[in-house]
Structure 1
Amino acid sequence: MNTTLRSILAAALAAGLIPYGAAFAQSAGCTVSRDAGARQVLSCPGGVTVTAEAGAAYSLVDRNRDGSPDSASLRRKAILVDVDNTQHAGGFQVVTPQAIAAVRGTQWAVDVAGGQTSVLVVRGSVAVRRPAGEPVLLSPGEGVDVTAGTGPLVVRRWPAPRAAALLARLGQ
């Protein structure tokens, strides 16, 4: 991306003309659409699909420059990540202020609000840890709430109403 285009995108982002995640999604090789709930749905090369809640503050990163994002940075609200491990090699991670959630191939939701990151696994398994700390492994239906600190992370089976409420925000 040349300097002029980067400047134009930065100005459009600052003015609120382009949703935060959209510009970064385009640079990560993804196509962006909207669903009926005003959520962004990003279809990316390599079997990665990201659904972002309206107003989510996130960006996608293609660290190895293979044309498919391998990481998301999430600062506010929720995203649902679906990684098809038959198409996507090398895993995928979501980095928030409180946690890092990493997988090889699965579907999971990550929500950032009020100084806490919540992770819920829909399919597959996800390793979650603080930036400095030991990981816990989540299976389908399990979640963890991560706050600042050093205490152990507690994996819990999420009650159906809590899981349904988060997934409904993401069009599921």
Structure 2
Amino acid sequence: MTRVEGQAVVSARGARAQPAVIGLGLGLNAKLRTEAGARVTMACSGGLEVVVGPESEIDVLGLLDHETRPFGLRLIDGIAGFLFSSEDGNGVQVRTPSAVAAVRSTEWAMRVENSASAIFTREGTVFVSADDTVAQLSLGKGIDVSSSGKIGSVTDWGSARIEEFDALLGAEW
């Protein structure tokens, strides 16, 4: 972790939960939970930076290992932003209770509330799949996926909705 604002806890199978602190890494099957007002920034290999917003919970599903598979996370609840500083990374695949998003070399964010997902692309292209449907998001586009997995239309997100994501993720995103 490269930045921790507020209270966050890291846990792993068979280990006691511990406070999130700068320098602490997350291994396979680790879980990160942030409290209200908290944000955690994690630097991952391949030039990926993940910003986890307040009242969020993520699980690490897979680690970059110099193969072609992407880094994997499960966003159980809350919001996370994803920033790539290079085009050399293997990408990231994020699962939520209702959707899957997969990308390389882009800037985007995903929020889960009541098992419904909202995905926004600030730069690049994001592919979102749910209920056997795949949508492609480009610059400034977003999509909502219901808690049952019904995928909505790709739309231009207005400034109010983008500013809401910005406020939750903070200056790092």
Both structures adopt the same fold (TM-score exceeding 0.5): yes
| Interval of TM-score (by shorter of Structure 1 and Structure 2) | 0.7 to 0.9
Question: 1: distance between equivalents of 2:141 and 2:59?
Answer: 25
1:136 and 1:153 in contact (8 A); partners too: no
Question: 2: distance between equivalents of 1:154 and 1:114?
Answer: 19
Paired residues, what number? 151
Q: Show the counterpart of 1:143.
A: 142
User: Which runs of 5 or more residues in structure 1 are unaligned?
Assistant: none
The structure that has the greater radius of gyration is 1
Give the CA deviation at 1:104: 1.8
Q: Show the counterpart of 2:62.
A: 62
Give the CA deviation at 1:153: 2.9
Question: 1: distance between equivalents of 2:47 and 2:63?
Answer: 16
String of CA shifts for 1:84-130, please: whole Å, max 9, x gaps.
452303x3111000000111210101000023100000110101111
Q: Show the counterpart of 1:77.
A: 78
Seen in structure 2, the aligned counterparts of structure 1 residues 149 and 82 have a Cα distance that, compared at 3 Å, is same
Give the CA deviation at 1:54: 2.3
Q: Does 1:88 pair with 2:70?
A: no
Question: 2: distance between equivalents of 1:143 and 1:60?
Answer: 24
SS at match of 1:102: strand
Identity %: 26
Give the CA deviation at 1:150: 6.3
1:59 and 1:73 in contact (8 A); partners too: yes
2:75 and 2:112 in contact (8 A); partners too: yes
What's the TM-score once normalised by structure 1's chain length? Answer: 0.75
Q: CA RMSD in A?
A: 2.9
Larger helix fraction of residues: 1
Question: 1: distance between equivalents of 2:80 and 2:149?
Answer: 25
Seen in structure 2, the aligned counterparts of structure 1 residues 97 and 38 have a Cα distance that, compared at 3 Å, is same
Q: Does 1:115 pair with 2:109?
A: no
Q: Does 1:153 pair with 2:152?
A: yes
SS at match of 1:26: coil
Give the CA deviation at 1:38: 2.9
Seen in structure 2, the aligned counterparts of structure 1 residues 26 and 115 have a Cα distance that, compared at 3 Å, is closer
SS at match of 1:165: helix
SS at match of 1:168: helix
What's the TM-score once normalised by structure 2's chain length? Answer: 0.75
String of CA shifts for 1:18-58, please: whole Å, max 9, x gaps.
35xx97x5215xxx9x9xx6300001121010000122110
Question: 1: distance between equivalents of 2:151 and 2:54?
Answer: 32
Larger strand fraction of residues: 2
